[in-house]
Copies of this chain bind each other. A is one copy, B any other.
Amino acid sequence: MVPSTALFTDRYELTMLQAALRSGAAHRRSVFEVFTRRLPEGRRYGVVCGTGRVLDAVENFRFDNSILSFLERERVVDAPTLEWLAGYRFRGDILGYPEGEVYFPGSPIMRIEGTFAEAVLLETVVLSILNHDSAIAAAASRMAVAASGRPLMEMGARRTHELAAVAASRAAYVGGFASSSNLAAGFRYGLPTIGTSAHAFTLLHDDERDAFTAQVESLGRGTTLLVDTFDVASAVRAAVEIAGAELGAVRIDSGDLLLLAHRVRQQLDDLGAKNTRIVVTSDLDEYAIASLAAAPVDAYGVGTSLVTGSGQPTCSMVYKLVARATSDEPGAPLVPVAKKSMGGKTSIGGRKWAARRLDADGVAEAEVIGTGPVPGPLADRQLLVPLVLGGETVHREPLDAARARHIEIRAGLPLSATQLSRGEPVLHTEYITH
């Protein structure tokens, strides 16, 4: 049994529903859009991630008896609303940027259409997923650029909530990571998992040689031995003596990684272990990874900075009503709506399309967002694809498809997209409104 997602919801969604059911406005056809007014400071592109998880969450958004009893007991909503919720399932349409796409300020990365009642309820859980997963994928993408082809291993489970960690592994994979230490991510999403041993394993044994011997006997010569518990040079010598030149890898988890990588490579080569790889794993972020580009490092393990979005643990995506019908009659026309108050939180009303315009060389040059008809030259460059139609999910794909899409699309951005330094969004947003 998959647990319901219906309570991953702010209480005001349900109180709004109650009041709108009573006023009758609940049944007006409504269009909500998910977008962000800005990228995290200094970032040049965002990465859409979590789309597949949103589809799961929408399918499992049901009010079962235990939930209805809770809402009744706590007097969250009245009896007519409880009755309406008991029959709830989303029957509307969802369009969105496909997972792995990039986005910019204003990009309508998801559009949810249905009655107000059915669409408003999804706000909180849709934003939770997209805000979290996109933040992690954006950090992962930057790290993948910095690693330029060397494999990245996600090891951050211990630094974030135990289930956020599973989603973070998934997002890291979409952003370009190769594997994860997180067994739940392997179980849930089929991600490749990795891991061999920690300092505790060495300290458990009477000495380091005993530990290495035990590990090699059990896990084979292809294993990765952790060489920085005591003295790195002694450990590398012992590791090759015990495992031979077939030793898979050594891992360095502390100290000056640049210096140590060079020394350890030299030592391994001198010992004849030319194919033994070097894995580094100490508090890396995209900048530390980039600084090791010239070092003889074969793989990076990244923890804290990945699961915390490398300084940007969330995105600022919002879920806004942009259009609604003038009445609940079938066929009533949609009118654009938008908050108009002072204070900077204004938005542009109307149901939007989005397309990415390319320059003469085929490089992306603008994110074009509009209401009304799509200009001919942009018709086949549109970004929103159907995800759910009439309540049925119509767009499922393996995670590898999202990962491959991200790599391909990032390669089509202007070169400055992959600079690590802070800057402006690499595409500007143009609006064509009617």
Contacts and interface: CB of A to CB of B under 8 A. Distances in A.
Interface of A: 1, 5, 7-16, 18-23, 25, 28, 30, 32, 57, 67, 70-71, 74, 76, 78, 116, 120, 123-125, 127-129, 131-133, 155, 157-167, 181-184, 186-187, 193-201, 203-206, 210, 213-215, 217-219, 228-232, 253-256, 282, 304, 307-308, 313-314, 316, 319-321, 324, 326, 337-345
Contact of A164 (B32, B132, B186, B199): B132
Listed residue (A159, A165, A183, A340) with the most chain B CB atoms within 10 angstroms of its CB: A183
Nearest to A67: B187
A11 B228 contact: no
A290 to B, nearest CB: 20
A339 B5 CA distance: 44
A38 B277 CA distance: 32
A158 to B, nearest CB: 4
A57 B12 contact: no
A374 to B, nearest CB: 25
A8 B184 contact: yes
A199 B321 contact: yes
Most B CB atoms within 10 A — which of A18, A116, A194, A314?
A314
Contacts of A163: 8, 161, 163-164
Contacts of A19: 197, 201, 214-215, 217-219
Nearest to A117: B204
Nearest to A136: B161
11 contacts: A5-B162, A10-B181, A12-B198, A22-B214, A120-B200, A123-B200, A124-B157, A127-B158, A132-B161, A253-B345, A254-B339
